[in-house]
């Protein structure tokens, strides 16, 4: 059997997709020092955030009222609506990553790891973003999706949260108002 370069490429993409879905991903930033790591605890992930738009977005919720309101918008089409997760906002914040609307199934977004770094004397929380698309040539359901993930993270002293892809490209940044 003769395997073309395109077939090998499609196979490799499919393998990477499977690795990502099964959680076996080893992020490129995993070599950061352990003392700089900030734990993220996943609250929820889904495929239908019901937020408008096609662009990737990041949100930080620092109080129960804003989080409850946002959670209601995320689940606007869910009947009955799920109960908002309980979070102690004196100790935790909620970090949301939204991929935006996509035309088919097979897309996903996840976060982690997170680490504090110092830039010019300022502490910045740097979070790795893992966004995935369905491999080319793989059949997928023709349905609108809007993948999202919500994480708890401990309240910290950093003033900004920066989101990077695997190539260290900045995808977004949140300035934290105190």
Which among 84, 96, 26 is positioned nearest to 59, based on CA atoms? 96
User: What is the pLDDT, as a whole number, of residue 35?
Assistant: 41
Its pTM surpasses 0.75: yes
**Alpha-carbon distance 112 to 42, whole Å?**
10
Count of other CB atoms within 10 angstroms of residue 165: 14
Half-sphere exposure of 117 (CA within 13 A, CB side): 14
Tokens 């830039």 found at: 119
Query: 177 pLDDT band (50/70/90 cuts)?
Result: confident
Q: Which of 22-36, 60-74, 98-112, 155-169 has the lowest mean pLDDT?
A: 22-36
Q: How far is CA 154 from the centre of its chain?
A: 17
pLDDT digits (tens, 9 = 90+) for 82-91: 999 999 999 9
Which tokens is 117 given? 């770094």
Burial 83-100 (b: 16+ CB within 10 A, else e): eeeebebeebbbbbbbbb
Per-residue pLDDT for 169 more than 90? yes
What is the token pair recorded at 171?
A: 């995808």
pLDDT higher than 80, residue 24: no
Reported as a pLDDT band with limits 50, 70 and 90, residue 15 is very low
pLDDT at residue 111 tops 90: yes
């Amino acid at each position: 059997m003769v395997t073309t370069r395109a077939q090998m490429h499609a196979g490799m993409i499919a393998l990477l997709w499977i690795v990502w879905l099964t959680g076996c991903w080893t992020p490129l930033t995993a070599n950061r020092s352990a003392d700089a790591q900030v734990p993220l605890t996943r609250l929820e992930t889904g495929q239908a955030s019901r937020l408008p738009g096609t662009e990737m977005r990041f949100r930080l919720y620092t109080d129960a009222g804003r989080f409850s309101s946002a959670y209601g918008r995320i689940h606007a089409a869910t009947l009955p609506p799920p109960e908002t997760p309980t979070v102690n906002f004196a100790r935790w914040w909620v970090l949301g990553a939204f991929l935006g609307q996509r035309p088919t199934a097979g897309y996903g977004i996840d976060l982690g790891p997170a680490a504090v770094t110092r830039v010019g004397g300022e502490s910045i929380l740097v979070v790795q973003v893992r966004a995935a698309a369905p491999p080319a040539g793989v059949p997928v359901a023709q349905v609108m999706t809007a993948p999202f993930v919500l994480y708890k993270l401990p309240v910290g002293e950093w003033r900004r949260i920066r989101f990077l892809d695997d190539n260290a490209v900045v995808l977004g940044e949140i300035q934290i108002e105190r």
